[in-house]
Chain A
Amino acid sequence: MNNRLGFMSTTGILGAIIVLIAVGAWTFFLGQGLFSPGALNSSSAGKALGGVTNHAALGGQCAACHGSPWGARTQAQLCMSCHTDVSTQIQGHSGLHSGIVGSSSAPTCRGCHTEHHGANGVLTVLDEATFPHDLTGYSLAKHTRKSNGTRFTCADCHGTDIAHFDQTVCGTCHAQMDSAFMAQHEKAFGKSCLACHNGSGKDGANFDHNKLAFKLTGKHAGLACERCHTGVGASAKGPQFTPQDCYSCHAKDDKHNGTFGQQCGQCHTPAGWANAKFDHSIFPVNHGSRGGQQASCQTCHPKSLSEYTCYGCHAHTPANIVRRHEGRALADLANCIRCHAGGRGEGGD
């Protein structure tokens, strides 16, 4: 009677041994590609990292990404030996990857990034519920639900490639919500939505310009944004970079042809160009007038109202002034009011 276990077949054991030898020989001569669960991504990244422009170009060099479990380097370290931009972010405590590493107790690259899904396979898979989207610089605070009440999915904005974002997507949806506004808004600011918007909503309907340093009063109130914030879209800079000095916008409105300088606010207010008031108290207009007569503007401002000179009155000649201010060069003595405030004779330097 054969007392052997039924499965202890000689041919069976021989078959198993042949399989092991065949796999060993294949691995030795042809590499470890036999164990690959699928083709690597072959879309070119443009510039080469670690000598290749995509993972597929690594061929059967599994060890480029897979260290042995007992090896010195972790898989994340192997990733970052090529992807140095990521390690720079993490070490510099800036950017998305730094934020993710900081918010996770055991961060790994493969927690979000995947491979072996074919030549065009996805390389990033995120947990939509927990991904800290704020760290990308764009909050989803105002994008939890679509206008029809259903929840947003990653694909609604990102399509098939979650790692990239095409800003024209913003316009497509928002034009459906208010086409007239979007047409005017895009015409004024362009389509670089992210230059101004960060998703937090504070640049939306609740935005109050008067909480900023540049208050909108008088004729400035009620203007369309693009009247001041011109070229924002083209320059890809936010409206916060709009110049705040009067002349940047109002040079074309200058009736004085520049003769009064560029400090419009010394005379004018946002209430309007009319009713300009200039406080001449810094130097009395009736200074030095004879018999109560006021000197004409040209007496002190012969060239333009933004410049003055004391020469030409009294004994104020350059030679006299130099003589009476012994030891000083004439160039130092042009701004008389600096010491002779109010026109008084004694200086106070």
Chain B
Amino acid sequence: MVSHFLCPFIQHTLTGSSSCSYAARTMTASSNYYYGAKKGINNSLSRMHTLSTLDTIRLEQGATGLKAFFSELSKKDYKEALSLVNEESLHFSSLYILKPEIEALNLFDYLSLRNKIAIAVLNEVLSGNKSMPPMKCSSSEYIQTVCSVLKWILISGFIDDGFEDDYDKVLDASSALLIKVYGDRTVLPLMSDLIFERNRRGRFYNELVWAFFESRYPHGLILIAAHLLSEQPEDVRLAQRLLSFIPGIDTERTAAYERQHSIVLNWLEKNYPYLYFTGESFQQSVSPKPYRVILDARYLCKAISIDTGRTIEPLTEYEDKLLKEFSELGTDVKKMLSIFSHMTHNNNIHRWNSWIHRPIAEQVEIAGLWMGGAV
């Protein structure tokens, strides 16, 4: 799964468009960002390639062997046992397996801050136990450490996803906390990999999908779209299902996946500044539309807040007047006009300025002619 991190989506987004539009620039910047994020995760994993002693035992002797080794060592030399469990390169899965032994041997107080926080998170996720043991650190240190511990859980722990349901639940909860509390989008590539991996194995991934979309980050869709090009039919089906709110992505289609992939990238490029996050999920709807294009904003070429759907900059009196007239048009005309406006704005700002200052009836006529009478 690790090698899958460097999936081909990066190449597509880096070279996908020669346009110098705002959206295209944002796309490229985003791709670089993702490349960096994936590189960062790979670096973290590289550091862990030097397996800790306990991880080596776990891999060689399994969970039972690891528990037996740790219990025996703790009785003989608890300092050495603590030193091993507190090793920086330890994977979360080993700590997860050893948690009952650590508790039975009353070793919690001697754990590293990382391990203490990880076990506290684990207890809260699995049993709802919210009691926090005292931590010897400042509040700011604590806040930052919790974030890095959640990332450690996810990054070092994802490779053992599927170990058991409770283990998976901790990974899902860590993802949700990183996204919802810390706004950390660097874990999206890893979450995407987990979602598709679980889907291939017929395992539960709904909460990961929910957390993924809750990032309110439309560029995350690029990661899902990459799976439209997968050789695995189940990957393609899931990608289609998750992206089916984008016009042209059809869950019934069984071919032309490269074209569908392009449709997603083009849709993002054209609409990114005008997307509003609706929060719809598969718990709510048979056909959730997590993002909606705000046509008013696309018509005025004004970026909006993804959270509120309202323009970031205040509108001028003239823009208010334009929107009033625009609101009286039919939906199809609105769509056509807003597409034309965005396109012209990106291609020739002077022509756009001239067009947007004409009466709206003329705007519609010009747009209709340019777009082949598509009104």
Asked if chains A and B come from one complex, the reply is no
